[in-house]
Homo-oligomer: A and B are copies of this chain.
């Protein structure tokens, strides 16, 4: 096995190369002034099982880079290609709501399925996207790692997910912290007023951990945090796997009252404190 590090996954790649006892390839990547990418693999890959690790925080640039890296590896006659995309771009565009819309992740799944032999990712937004791939699609769960990180700061923990759809994430964190979990429900009190509160539990006197797969603008999460504090929560930590955190999202969360905002390094950001390399290495070592 030889690890092919992408430009935004250098640290994860080095960790995984150690954890899997694999060679780390020397890979050159650059962007020309007109926006085109150039890639070159300097290490000998012929006949080897190549594992590209390149998280997709650069969105369309990341997608094209995956296409180029796979072509370069095929040209040199690798035995197989595993594409590790810790953050999978377009995973949220997983349904068609209106006439004339593409299921964007489905169209990209077709592309990935034609260029590699296997996909590994961390907490895609919806698990049903697996069906769009015709190569094995394996996803790791980083929520337990986030719970471990936050756990040391929570005396009387309670885990919440921002909505019913993500309650499995809350369950996965609660198992680590050995505590109760619930999901947040939004109730409209009047045309201008909403209430956000746990469906069944009471946060009064609790140290709350809110977990989600992704925090993007942070707007709803910030509102939820301030309401939980009003409801008596002692402390609220906002944790997500992919800290996309557009614009002033981090500040919004702190203004809302978050004690800490934490994410993993699937998406490089200032709150990417939890490393997913052991999760990926475990998958690679097992299969």
Contacts and interface: CB of A to CB of B under 8 A. Distances in A.
Interface of A: 33-43, 45, 58-61, 63-64, 67-72, 75-76, 89-90, 92-93, 96, 98-104, 106-108, 110-111, 114-115, 216-217, 244, 246-247
Query: Sorted from nearest, which 4 A-B pairs have the closest CB atoms?
Result: A71-B107, A35-B59, A41-B100, A71-B102
A100 B42 contact: yes
A106 B90 CA distance: 24
22 contacts: A33-B247, A34-B216, A34-B246, A35-B59, A36-B90, A36-B93, A36-B104, A37-B60, A38-B93, A39-B101, A40-B98, A40-B100, A42-B100, A45-B100, A60-B60, A63-B64, A67-B107, A71-B102, A71-B107, A71-B110, A75-B102, A111-B111
Contact of A40 (B89, B101, B244, B246): B101
A71 B114 contact: no
A179 to B, nearest CB: 32
Instruction: Count copies of this chain in the complex.
Output: 2
Contacts of A98: 40
Contacts of A107: 67-68, 70-71, 115
Contacts of A37: 60, 104
Given A36-B93, A59-B36, A60-B60, A99 B71 contact: no
A37 to B, nearest CB: 7
Given A100-B40, A103-B71, A33 B64 contact: no
Nearest to A35: B59
Contact of A72 (B42, B61, B72, B101): B101
Contacts of A42: 99-100
A139 to B, nearest CB: 19
A69 B103 CA distance: 10
A210 to B, nearest CB: 21
Nearest to A111: B111
B35 A102 contact: no
A68 B244 contact: no
